[in-house]
Amino acid sequence: MSSPYESLLKSVREIGQLESVESLLDWDLETHMPPNGLKARAEQLSIMARLVHDRRTSPHLGELLGTLNGDAADPVQATNIRETRRTYDRAVKVPVELVGKIASVSTHAKAAWARARKDSDFTQFAPHLSELLELKREVADRIGHDGERYDALLSEFEPGAQTAQVAEVFAELRGPLSKFVTQLNQSSTRPDPSILCRRFPAAAQEKLARTLAAAIGFDFKSGRLDVSTHPFCSGSTPHDVRLTTRYQEDFFPAAIFGTLHEAGHGVYEQGLDAEHMFTPMGSAISLGIHESQSRLWENMVGRSRPFWEHFYPECKAAFAESFGDVSLDQFVGAINTVQPSLIRVEADEVTYNLHIILRFELEREMIAGRLDVADIPEAWNTKTKELLGVSPPDDANGCLQDIHWSMGTFGYFPTYALGNLYAAQFHAAAHRAIPDLTQRIAAGDFRTLHEWLRTNIYRNGQRYRAGELVELVTGQPLSIEPFMAYLREKFSPFYGL
């Protein structure tokens, strides 16, 4: 007969397999599904969500957890038991009907968001957003909180994180970051980003994007790259990871760095231990740690001079008409231009976290019920002006630019900024561990860094909480200082500071 732990693993793996099917249905919705398939897909995703929830809250699973000790000596067993108990305790508080309702509503909301964004008309999306907010408030209340509903939603994506702690970190970051942005903007020395707004055929962009993704370790035999309205990474197993991007023929960075960003997520998914597939030990720690990998590969590696010392000749040959008169120094300066802008996914490294602080502060008010849906466009525009000094001309470039709210993923946005902070600490630790890393990257050797990340982060699964892992790998708790030091060292030369 199977032991209780073996029975638990069997149940957990079946849940993971169902979630992988759900993930593939959602990926197809965003990439290849014909428009008329929406109604049936909403029903399919609702059924899958209910099935997953039923398995995750089954009395049998609860009985097994009741017989198992989460302090098991084996770290693999201890991790799987602890994390299964955490998700079980959370899930049993939410009725299956509510889970199915959210899945169905969000499917329709995503389609409404895409139409509203295309038409730049928030009113088309507002009723769907209102319904999702009510549903997610109910989820938060059922899970439980100490007066801050946002805590219950944030912990889904960043286990153990508290809203007040995140707000404190963001408040600590906001001052130095805003001051540095001001210093850069006041400098008379600036790169010229206009060279990135020439003509870049989509086919050539796709070829280069695939080359770069493969170079940093994304295995196309275990993954693929497609097009969607909003770029994302969907990993059903380490052997099947789906990336998407979007091509703008008059703006070079969108697809190239968007692909590097999603490939950073992808190499994390592919780097998880396949032996523990569909269990906590074979799953990512948190979305903040996940984001640290996408930001590290996109920016700290992908926008570095050593990276382009290796790849710029190929890039220049691919876009000879547009980059024929552009030197390496001009190109590297252009892709590292700091300019407060409207679109988060196209924001530079320095101002990016201000976009996240904006969303975090608005979401917190929305979930608390202090910000009405009808007032979101005005609140968004006001806060954009306050934080970034620019004003959206329309909803498409303002509150409709991100897909996340249509997915019901409130509490997700803070993980982006946390990911930047984690990434800076990991990046500094990697350079300490690999003294010649800069030279390796310039020579096209990305395997050494990839293996260091795989060993120190990916293969740990969910053994540690995000904060524990950061301290274990870097020797210090989460801090804004490595991130600010990285920004000053990298960007000051471009601006003559």
Active site residues: 262
Give the residue from 187, 205, 214, 220 showing the smallest Cα distance to 255. 205
Q: Which amino acid is at 412?
A: Y
Q: How far is CA 429 from the centre of its chain?
A: 22
Q: Give me the helices (H) in 248-375, please.
A: 253-271, 287-295, 305-318, 320-323, 328-335, 349-368
Whether 280 and 83 have beta carbons less than 8 Å apart is answered as yes
Give the start-end residues of each E strand in 143-290: 223-227, 233-237, 240-245
**Distance separating alpha carbons of residues 424 and 146, to the nearest angstrom:** 32
Sign of CA dihedral 175, 177, 179, 181: negative
CB atoms within 10 A of CB 321: 10
3-state secondary structure of 110: helix
Q: Give me the helices (H) in 389-444, please.
A: 414-433, 437-442
**Distance separating alpha carbons of residues 176 and 158, to the nearest angstrom:** 25
Tokens found for residue 331: 């190109």
* Secondary structure tally for the chain: helices H, strands E: 21, 3
**Distance separating alpha carbons of residues 328 and 309, to the nearest angstrom:** 7
140, 145, 151, 153: CA torsion to nearest 10: -20
R_g over Cα of the chain: 22
- Phi/psi for 224 (5° steps) reads -150, 165
Cross-strand bridge partners of residue 242: 224, 234
**Distance separating alpha carbons of residues 242 and 28, to the nearest angstrom:** 10
3-state secondary structure of 489: helix
Sheet holding 223-227, edge to edge: 223-227, 240-245, 233-237
Q: Give me the helices (H) in 32-121, please.
A: 38-56, 59-67, 75-91, 96-119
